[in-house]
Chain A
Amino acid sequence: MLERRSALADAHPFAWAALTLGEVRGFTLTQAAVFDKAAEAQVAAVIGALPQENTRAIESNGRTLFRTGPLAFWCVGPENDDLAAQLQGKAIMTPLSHSRTRISIEGSAARAMLAKGLPIDLHTSVFTPGTFAMTGLHHTPVLLHCVAEARFELYAMRTFAMDAWEWLEDAALEFR
């Protein structure tokens, strides 16, 4: 078997009192897109309930689902999730597991650190658990998902992942 090598293979995760930075590996990210609501219902019949809100992810049958476009979804499941095969012919399926690097950011300083780069309102009353945003960090697209009040997952483009990591590391310095 060919060995997988993450974009962050050479990065150094850390865990401080106020902030933890790490990578989540071993997941399957599949994009499902359709052309109308009828097809969306067919997808729901396989996956389960789909998120109706554009800014809130839902957990469904072991997957986290994001509505990333009017008729498009990101489905983040466990490693070797065969969702693409299950939905073949029902939706346009695009595997993206290698496209995005999933960075976990946790701790009391997480919001303050992220506010240095993301032009979105990260206040606890606004960016509540479940909320996600597709936005920009250091000129590159990212998806930020609030998993718990003090835990976030940042999906960075793989080719920019090390850059995002280095940026976050630098932003984190004052919380060491």
Chain B
Amino acid sequence: MRLPCPHCGPRDYSEFRYGGDAENPRPKHGTGDLQAWHDYYFVFNNPKGPHEEYWQHVLGCRRWFKLKRNTATNEVIGVVQP
């Protein structure tokens, strides 16, 4: 599998680490709302199809990015611009 590092370009998957589901927005710093943090941290969809997730080019430039990937086919749809 090849993943598109936003800084270095397409690279072998072995240079990256997976950083988890990126679909839930992380509550803002200063938000003490237990329910909001609970929903962010524990409640996920597990879609078959396009899915946003975090990746880090950990052996390369160490950039983190949000990637849209089809979980059924492994097709990389692209980097989600912040």
Contact = CB atoms under 8 A, between A and B. Distances in A.
Complex: A in contact with B (CB within 8 Å): yes
Interface of A: 54-55, 68-70, 119-120, 133-136, 139-141
Nearest to B12: A119
Contact of A135 (B7, B59, B62, B63): B59
Contacts of B61: 68-69, 134
Contacts of B63: 69-70
A168 to B, nearest CB: 17
Contacts of A69: 7, 61-63
B11 interface: yes
Chain B CB count within 10 A is highest, among A54, A133, A136, A139, for A136
Contacts of B57: 134
A135 B9 contact: no
B60 A141 contact: yes
Contacts of B12: 119-120
Given A69-B62, A134-B61, A139-B59, 9 more contacts: A54-B7, A54-B8, A69-B61, A119-B12, A134-B8, A134-B60, A135-B59, A136-B15, A140-B59
Interface residues of B, number: 14
B8 A55 contact: yes
Contacts of B71: none
Contacts of B60: 133-136, 141
Nearest to A137: B59
B74 interface: no
B9 A119 contact: no
Contacts of A136: 14-15, 59-60
Interface in B53-82: 57-63
A92 to B, nearest CB: 15
